[in-house]
Structure 1
Amino acid sequence: MGSWPLLALVLGFLAGIARGSEPWSNGTQVYSTNANSGSGSNGAFVALTLIQSAAAKGAVCLDGSLPGYHLHRGSGSGSNNWLVNLEGGGWCNDVKSCVFRKGSRRGSSNHMERQLQFTGIMSNRPEENPDFYNWNRVKVRYCDGGSFTGDGADAASGLYFRGQRIWQAAIDDLMAQGMRSASQALLSGCSAGGASAILHCDEFRGMFPSNTRVKCLADAGMFLDSVDIAGRREMRDVFNGIVRLQASGRSLPRSCTSRMDKTSCFFPQNVLPNIQTPTFILNTAYDVWQLQESLAPRTADPRGLWQSCKQNYASCNSNQLQFLNGFRNEMLNAVKGFSGSGQNGVFINSCFAHCQSERQDTWYSSNSPRLGNKRIAEAVGDWFFERGNAKYTDCAYPCDGTCHHLVFKGRHL
């Protein structure tokens, strides 16, 4: 298995992409996109609120600091609607990687930005976010390293695995802020936050009266239990470490753990078949995070034969594209039964990307990715408000000319 402190940097970088920070460099790597427009937004900057009641509940970050969220109040027709977005940013699956993580914003509120700009689905501007701009919009910060599922500790290392308690403390606090009387509520997230949205979806639904419209949106959260280029299952090893270290098993959906092992139930693909709440899966068929760290990690590619392909999709040879198309088929098969339900939605495009709902250029702009002539924001809005069909799957690469592909320039982390 590769270095998870190093992986945390990669995931932090990709989370930066989701917030629209391009171009970006840490001295070794620069990110760019082949799209013409950037991901700039005029969305509001929203202050961090620490959850003061969390400590008494043992709901603390990896280092014991208070968890928090950013809340931008709704107005007008959206004043009684709530969008709760779970921040992503990878995981830690052993003591070493969690100790590393607790010294960053991914493990401690002491290192979190005091303000975040809300872009994409979080934007407060109708021209950037037509359906949700005037809702109460909340970004719940991610500081537990276990997709808001852990419930344990490691006293020797000073680590607290309290993701499930953080989730509950945040929801309790938001309920007291007015969410209890919501007319409509949407739980969303991207990357590890997208996986969280699936794992907590039915739980979120159960917190509201039956007459409240409640749905879930998972962006880039479909981490598949796939075989990598060396024939190993990297993600299964990672998720098994998380579940064991953080005692996540009892927080995972019982609809899954009653029929499968706990590690399998950390994979969203195994939770989807029994999910009861209307859910929308937004994903790329060629997810660059999974390409970088799950399908072709360094440990599986000691000769670096995949290095060019991982940095620039245009450099992939025919055999590599064949392997990636096998992954695409796995992705489509994972949502096949799920997408057959009229209450669910899918938007799976054939782009080399990761997280598309929180970037302005991919969520809703003049040249955003489209399927069926629908931008992502339009497809999600149609699904949530039941305005029509919301099931879109792309043909295989390179047929889609609307993609915003990610290209990594320079040495890979």
Structure 2
Amino acid sequence: MALHLQSMLSSYRRVWWRKFNWVIVAAAVSAILLLGFSLFFTTPNKTTHFTLVSDMVPLTLIANAQKTGAFCLDGSLPGYHFQKGFGSSSRNWLLHIEGGGWCNTIASCSYRTTTALGSSKYMDHEVKFSGILSSDRYENPDFFSWNKVKIRYCDGASFAGSPETEINNGTKLFFRGQLIWEAVKDELLSLGLSNARQALLSGCSAGGLATLIHCDDFRDVLPKNAKVKCLSDAGFFLNEKDVAGNHTIQSYYHEVVQLQGVSKSLNKDCVAKNDPSKCLFPQEFTSSIKTPIFLVNPSYDFWQIQNILVPVSSDFQGDWFKCRRNIHNCSPSQIAILQGFRNSLLKALNDFLQINGGVFINSCFIHCQTWMAETWHGPASPKINNKTIAESVGEWYFNDKTVQQIDCPYPCNPTCYNMEFP
């Protein structure tokens, strides 16, 4: 069951191979995500179930953000999509933070201001809610009737930037990620989040990292008797050397932290002991988060393989050209390196697993999985021990069980959706 990207990826393919241009890659991938990954999945014998609630949800800009200076990179107002809950779930809330990479230079952040990842001017006025945000009880059995919010991502630093560094950049860029998070949170609290009985903060990719950064803060503003947990999807980025022995991702994160003044938003204990850029890596701080956490991560996360393990700048001879686009094209020696990357993930998770953190680590070549119907929950969805991601998350959230689903190594799982780039 492979994901075939055709004409929509042609322009993306042309920019992908420019020498390590991270922001173009992030924008291209995010544009694909925003246009609807699910359009490219083939799910045999899938039955469509209709609900009375529309899955197309309008964009709301945060008017009060003007007062606090909570702006997107270009100075426009941040936004979110809100679908009101119903029935017995009217006081239950699910928040999902959009992903889309980061920007580490003036040029890359400036580029983002011409996209929805840096300006609300380019955001869709309506988006489809699917997967964990769906209102279809068959697609999303546990959360379909909750209040659901998709938080749009337009700051380029996982909602952790600070305006203190703006004076040095000589441009009109706004580094207000932390202020955006505060503005979104305050508006949702006024809409009923302050009376929540159950709440789940979730996010994908850079949004998954933002979820981990802000998880305890989210818990602290809600009623003490509320059940509050956090779910990070494809947000556990590894601090690994690339295949050429370079610290590519660590250097990149260092530039993001320095440019956007991220240090103040990071785990204080971690920052006190390390270079702040290291504290963007979840392995450095996840075990100290007090709020219960569930991690959904593929062992062969294509984004991490293509940008952390084998960035274009380190594939000198082009030996990884086919492998990094399609795991089925990898040679035995390349598979061995990917297995080593999987081992690094499991090692980095060790402390988290010891404190009974919840995980769903499948052996798929994919990135985010919770917000797509095909991978979240359905007859053909990826499974571990015959359970979908949604079933595993539901068991962890509602039954307070230790759920640690860890897949066998590739290619053992026939239920995987594996990404294929042309």
- Pairwise TM-score range, normalised by the shorter structure: over 0.9
**What are the residue-to-residue correspondences of 1:57-206 with 2, within 5 Å?**
57-152=68-163, 153=166, 156-206=170-220
Residues 208-266 of structure 1 show CA distances to partners (whole Å, capped at 9, x for unaligned) of 23211110000000111011111012111111111000000011121322322210101
Matched, 1:45 2:56: yes
Cα distance, 1:38 vs structure 2: 8.3
Indicate the SS of the match to 1:263: helix
- CA 1:39–1:51 in structure 2 vs 1: closer, same or farther (change >3 Å)? farther
Indicate the SS of the match to 2:399: coil
1:26 is aligned to: none
Indicate the SS of the match to 1:240: helix
Indicate the SS of the match to 1:218: strand
Kept in 1, the 8 Å contact 2:98–2:204? The answer is yes
Cα distance in 2 between the residues matched to 1:39 and 1:325: 36
1:8 is aligned to: 26
Cα distance in 1 between the residues matched to 2:278 and 2:115: 29
- CA 1:199–1:387 in structure 2 vs 1: closer, same or farther (change >3 Å)? closer
2:388 is aligned to: 375
| TM-score w.r.t. length of structure 2 | 0.91
Cα distance in 2 between the residues matched to 1:324 and 1:13: 27
Percent of residue pairs bearing the same amino acid type: 44
Cα distance in 2 between the residues matched to 1:189 and 1:111: 21
- CA 1:389–1:276 in structure 2 vs 1: closer, same or farther (change >3 Å)? closer
Kept in 2, the 8 Å contact 1:191–1:219? The answer is yes
Cα distance, 1:6 vs structure 2: 2.1
Pairs aligned (count): 398
- CA 1:35–1:224 in structure 2 vs 1: closer, same or farther (change >3 Å)? farther
Cα distance, 1:273 vs structure 2: 1.9
- Which structure has greater strand proportion? 1
2:271 is aligned to: 257
Cα distance, 1:68 vs structure 2: 0.6
Kept in 1, the 8 Å contact 2:326–2:419? The answer is yes
**What are the residue-to-residue correspondences of 1:165-314 with 2, within 5 Å?**
165-314=179-328
Indicate the SS of the match to 1:331: helix
- CA 1:40–1:217 in structure 2 vs 1: closer, same or farther (change >3 Å)? farther
Indicate the SS of the match to 1:286: coil
Relative to structure 2, which stretch is displaced further, 8-17 or 79-88? 8-17
Matched, 1:392 2:405: yes
Residues 320-355 of structure 1 show CA distances to partners (whole Å, capped at 9, x for unaligned) of 11111111011111112212224x210000110100
Cα distance in 2 between the residues matched to 1:159 and 1:397: 43
Indicate the SS of the match to 1:283: strand
Kept in 1, the 8 Å contact 2:38–2:373? The answer is no
- CA 1:38–1:332 in structure 2 vs 1: closer, same or farther (change >3 Å)? farther
Indicate the SS of the match to 1:169: helix
Name the amino acid aligned to 2:26.
Answer: A
Cα distance in 1 between the residues matched to 2:132 and 2:283: 24
Contiguous gaps of at least 5 residues in structure 2: 1-18
Residues 55-89 of structure 1 show CA distances to partners (whole Å, capped at 9, x for unaligned) of 11010000000001000000011100111111100
Indicate the SS of the match to 2:364: strand
Cα distance in 2 between the residues matched to 1:82 and 1:397: 36
Residues 296-337 of structure 1 show CA distances to partners (whole Å, capped at 9, x for unaligned) of 111001221001101111110111111111110111111122
- CA 1:5–1:20 in structure 2 vs 1: closer, same or farther (change >3 Å)? closer
Kept in 2, the 8 Å contact 1:34–1:405? The answer is no
Kept in 2, the 8 Å contact 1:40–1:361? The answer is no
Cα distance in 2 between the residues matched to 1:387 and 1:208: 19
2:4 is aligned to: none
Matched, 1:358 2:376: no
Kept in 2, the 8 Å contact 1:128–1:364? The answer is yes
Residues 139-168 of structure 1 show CA distances to partners (whole Å, capped at 9, x for unaligned) of 110000000000122562210000000000
Name the amino acid aligned to 1:8.
Answer: A
- CA 1:50–1:368 in structure 2 vs 1: closer, same or farther (change >3 Å)? same
Q: 2:347 aligns with which of 333, 349, 354?
A: 333
Residues 41-61 of structure 1 show CA distances to partners (whole Å, capped at 9, x for unaligned) of 866100000000001101000
Indicate the SS of the match to 1:346: strand
Q: 2:37 aligns with which of 13, 17, 20?
A: 20
| TM-score w.r.t. length of structure 1 | 0.93
Q: CA RMSD in A?
A: 1.8
Contiguous gaps of at least 5 residues in structure 1: 24-32
Kept in 2, the 8 Å contact 1:53–1:169? The answer is yes
Indicate the SS of the match to 1:392: strand
Name the amino acid aligned to 2:149.
Answer: V
